[in-house]
A and B are shown apart, each in its own frame.
Chain A
């Protein structure tokens, strides 16, 4: 098939196909922005010019040296925010930005299913017109690949525009964002070419279960019921976090230096295992929720929802994946905040006691650096929840559109639309509530495994007279003061409730918006569409 013909066939379709293409392009643009932002942060070259250090409130190391000086300590003083300045935090920021791709890619995956039955019928008609199965798949893959290519190009254009528009140095020349940094060329090329390629490959992978014949499309469905084994992954993830402190202590006791990979493997691997466990476990939760609902259902709405959940429990894991991952991270971040709070309290208590004992003036410590960093994590979780909500919306609308004839028939026979609306609400909320609770519990458990209490202490000797020469060893004027504070890390119930409430609100808003499509989907004219 000639490329022009492939292009024409790939982009031929109805309104739903257009929406699918636009959503795929939108997701690709978001993913491009997220990847380029991560690459930019990672590519930051620290500058330690005397003027910048001074503006940052630090003593200039090379006073009077003009121009760009690489910072020997790795601190990038050209930025205003500590997340970009501190060398220890930048990889975390880059990773966080990269992780934002997860809900974006979930949105792309969900978008690919929008209007899939109609597209499959179109591809079957193309087969009927003489195309080979491989050519039919090529048409579908080309559609996704081209949409992703357009989205990636748009994302790159937005990135380039953002670099210009957001380049706002303050009076001292420091920047709020790394708009002075460009990732290496190979990174730009990898994102520009890799993302559309990845999208096309994913489309080909999704179509491996589909057989296109001239008489229609056969789609192999997963028939085996979900099992609760993902619970083991969750336990393994929690165990990995719980192992951190014993491992650190064991290395300290043995006197051997701890290899650099140990902590990232335990924390990253544990977090990934727990999150994957929650996501995969949602299929089982969906099925269990469906069974329970079916047993207790008294209303037609609950019965419809229960049967739908039982008919395709795997959809639950697929649809809620990104949202649950964000909730696990959000709960973990709440745990980190509780940890930091306990740590600061303990340190402050030690400082206060030291000041009292020595007669010094007590100066409270500044925690704004850590709290503002955690605020950014919370903002990232919120963004992830919003993107995940978009994916949910696509799933919901796709479900309404694909069932429109059955819905229209029900309404025609006198079923009130509000019954159908309630059934959709039940269908979304019945698995979402337990899954979100599970994600909160897992996020909390991994942090509880890591740390349950914090210690702070100090030991100091001070002279009670002005003449320090009289404070030698054994002197009665030499006072010793020792303090050891242990603080439990509280479970952050309020923050956890907040994360859960935001996630549930995202589901509820999605259901509300999705139901706007219910009236159109139940119109009597739908009874005529084949």
Chain B
């Protein structure tokens, strides 16, 4: 499979705390990769480095043969807006905007007209079975619905890579399953690569492959969370 995203020897520290200690991994195009591990092991930091949100202290992040960790913040922002989609634990929707406006926002930022952006947003909300809450604000809908709206916002630009940071962490199991079901179905349909950070074995089970982080390093024992399967760090 063609690699789309690579991290090579990634190191990142917050003051005296070393969150990543030389992580190397490759994500193949169209793959769903789960990054698992205990709390504080550096999962979210790894995701932020791969997505270009954080710049690593050392090492390289390569996206489609381009070393993006050396890019300016503006260029990385542009990349995230166009090529990447990001989904957080708490939907992080804009509280004052309606669900449809939240989904339309990334398209408008890319220069799409408001009417067209809204049409596209409605189409995504329908695909995620939340079209009925399009006119409601995040505070007026359930956590599961919020997360599906957030997923629609992450996918509306049809990104090549979707980064999901504990996407079901704030949901009950049923709502979590619904969100993950939609995520996997739509990612497969669009050939979107997914990097999924979780500490939940059920969530990791949706992935094609799993790597485990411990203390900022890829665990060489390769024992993953998902059904005890053997994990291969490529």
| B54, B79, B80, B96: most-surrounded residue (chain A CB, <10 A) | B96
Asked whether A412 lies within 8 Å of B94 as measured between CB atoms, the reply is no
| Shortest beta-carbon distance from A66 to chain B in Å | 73
Residues of A within 8 A of B82 (CB): 414
Check if B86 sits within 8 Å of A412, measured CB to CB. yes
Interface residue ranges of B109-158 to A (CB < 8 Å): 109, 113-114, 137, 153-154
The yes or no answer to A415 lying at the interface (CB within 8 A) is: yes
B97 contacts the other chain (Cβ, under 8 Å)? yes
Is A311 touching B51 in the complex (CB atoms < 8 A)?
no
Judged by a CB distance under 8 angstroms, whether A95 is at the interface is no
Question: Is the CB–CB distance between B94 and A414 below 8 Å?
Answer: no
- 0/1 per residue, A464-489, Cβ < 8 Å to B? 00000000000000000000000000
CA distance A403 to B96 in the complex (A): 11
B90 within 8 A of A: yes
B101 touches which one: A307, A405, A410, A528 (CB < 8 A)? A307
Question: Is the beta-carbon distance between B94 and A406 smaller than 8 angstroms?
Answer: yes
A125 CA to B97 CA, complexed, in Å: 30
Provide a sorted-by-A list of 22 A–B residue pairs whose CB atoms are within 8 angstroms: A298-B113, A299-B108, A303-B97, A307-B98, A310-B96, A410-B92, A411-B77, A412-B53, A413-B80, A413-B84, A413-B85, A413-B154, A414-B78, A414-B106, A414-B109, A415-B77, A415-B81, A415-B106, A416-B109, A419-B109, A524-B53, A527-B92
CB contacts (< 8 Å) of A304 on chain B: these are 94, 96-97
Which of A299, A300, A308, A405 has most B Cβ within 10 Å? A300
Is B94 in contact with A416, judged by CB distance below 8 angstroms? no
Cα A162 to Cα B189 with chains together (Å)? 76
Cα(A463)–Cα(B53), bound, Å: 95
Q: Specify which chain A residues have a CB less than 8 angstroms from the CB of B93 in the assembled complex.
A: 406
Cα-based distance from A410 to B86 in the complex (angstroms): 10
The 9 A-B residue pairs with the shortest CB-CB distance, nearest first, are A414-B81, A409-B92, A414-B80, A307-B96, A311-B96, A300-B108, A414-B77, A308-B96, A413-B86
What residue in chain B is nearest A525 (Cβ atoms)? Answer: B14
- Min CB distance, A418 to chain B, in Å? 10
Using Cβ atoms and an 8 Å threshold, which residues of chain A touch B165? 527
Is the C-beta of A353 less than 8 angstroms from some C-beta in chain B?
Answer: no
Residues of chain B with a CB closer than 8 A to A524's CB: 48, 53-54
Chain A residue, CB-CB nearest to B84: A414
| A528 and chain B: residue at smallest CB distance | B44
Is B105 in the interface zone, CB < 8 Å from A?
yes
The answer to whether B81 touches A413, judged by C-beta atoms less than 8 angstroms apart, is: yes
Enumerate A305-342 residues with CB–CB distance to B below 8 Å.
307-308, 310-311
- In the complex, A303 Cα to B154 Cα: how many Å? 19
Known: A300-B105, A413-B81. 18 other contacts (CB 8 A): A300-B108, A303-B101, A303-B105, A308-B96, A311-B137, A411-B77, A412-B53, A412-B88, A413-B84, A413-B153, A414-B81, A414-B106, A414-B109, A415-B81, A416-B77, A416-B109, A527-B92, A527-B165
Give complex CA distance A528, B43 in Å: 12
Query: Taking the complex as formed, is A454 at the interface, i.e. its CB lies under 8 A from any CB of chain B?
Result: no
Flag whether B95 is at the interface (Cβ < 8 A). Answer: yes
Say yes or no for A502: interface residue by CB 8 A criterion: no
Tell yes or no: B174 within 8 A of A by CB. no
A416 — nearest CB in chain B belongs to which residue? B77
| Chain B, Cβ-Cβ closest to A307 | B96
- Which residues of A does B touch, CB under 8 Å? 297-300, 303-304, 307-308, 310-311, 403, 405-406, 408-416, 419, 524, 527-528
Q: Is the CB–CB distance between B114 and A297 below 8 Å? A: yes
CA distance A415 to B113 in the complex (A): 17
Assembled-state Cα–Cα distance A416/B84 (Å): 15
Judge whether B74 is part of the interface by a CB distance below 8 angstroms: yes
Q: Is the interface of A mostly helix, strand, loop or mixed?
A: helix
Contact B90 A405 (CB under 8 A): yes
How far apart sit A13 and B93, CA to CA, in the bound complex (Å)? 28
User: Contact check: which of B48, B79, B101, B137 meets A414 at CB < 8 Å?
Assistant: B79
In the bound complex, residues from chain B placing their C-beta under 8 Å from that of A410 are 92, 94
What residue of chain B has the Cβ atom nearest to residue A411's Cβ?
Answer: B77
From A405, A416, A528, give the contact of B74 (CB < 8 A). Answer: A416
Q: How far is the CB of B114 from chain A (nearest CB, A)?
A: 6
| Residues of A close to B44: CB separation below 8 A | 527-528
Q: Chain B nearest CB: distance from A465 CB in Å?
A: 86
The smallest C-beta distance from A292 to any residue of chain B, in angstroms, reads 15
With A405-B92, A524-B48 already in contact, the answer to whether A303 and B108 are too (CB < 8 A) is yes
Residue contact A412 to B51, C-beta cutoff 8 Å: yes
Q: For residues 42 through 68 of chain B, which have their beta carbon under 8 Å from a beta carbon of chain A? A: 44, 48, 51, 53-54
* Chain B residues closer than 8 Å to A415, beta-carbon distance: 77, 81, 105-106, 109
For residue A335, give the distance in angstroms from its CB to the closest CB of chain B: 39
Residues of chain A within 8 A (CB-CB) of B88 are 409, 412, 527
Tell me the bound Cα distance from A524 to B84 in angstroms.
16
B146 to chain A, nearest CB (A): 12
Distance, CA A299 to CA B114, complexed state (A): 8
Assembled-state Cα–Cα distance A419/B105 (Å): 11
Bound CA span A403–B77, Å: 20
B residues in contact with A297, CB < 8 Å: 114
| B92 contacts A303, C-beta separation under 8 Å | no
Tell me the complex Cα distance, A311–B95, Å. 9
CB <8 Å contact, B109 and A403 = no
Contact check: which of B90, B101, B106, B137 meets A413 at CB < 8 Å?
B106
* Neighbouring B residues of A408 by C-beta, 8 Å: 92
Q: Complex Cα distance A53/B98, Å? A: 72
Contacts of B96 in A (CB 8 A): 304, 307-308, 310-311
Q: How far is the CB of B61 from chain A (nearest CB, A)?
A: 15
Most chain A CB within 10 A, of B51, B79, B90, B109, is at B109
Residue of A nearest to B106 (CB): A413
Minimum C-beta distance from A422 to chain B (A): 12
B92 with A406: CB separation less than 8 A = yes
Bound-complex Cα distance A310 to B95 (A): 12
Cβ distance B133 to chain A, nearest Cβ, rounded Å: 16
Take A307-B97, A413-B81, A415-B109 as given contacts and tell me if A298 and B114 are in contact as well, using a CB distance cutoff of 8 Å: yes
Q: Which residues of B contact A307 (CB under 8 A)?
A: 94, 96-98, 101
In the bound complex, CA of A300 to CA of B81 (Å)? 13
Contacts of B98 in A (CB 8 A): 307
Contacts of B90 in A (CB 8 A): 405
B53, B54, B74, most chain A CB atoms within 10 A: B53
Contact residues in B for A298 (Cβ distance below 8 Å):
113-114
Which residues from chain A contact B77 at a C-beta distance below 8 Å? 411, 414-416
CB distance from A478 to the nearest CB of B (A): 82
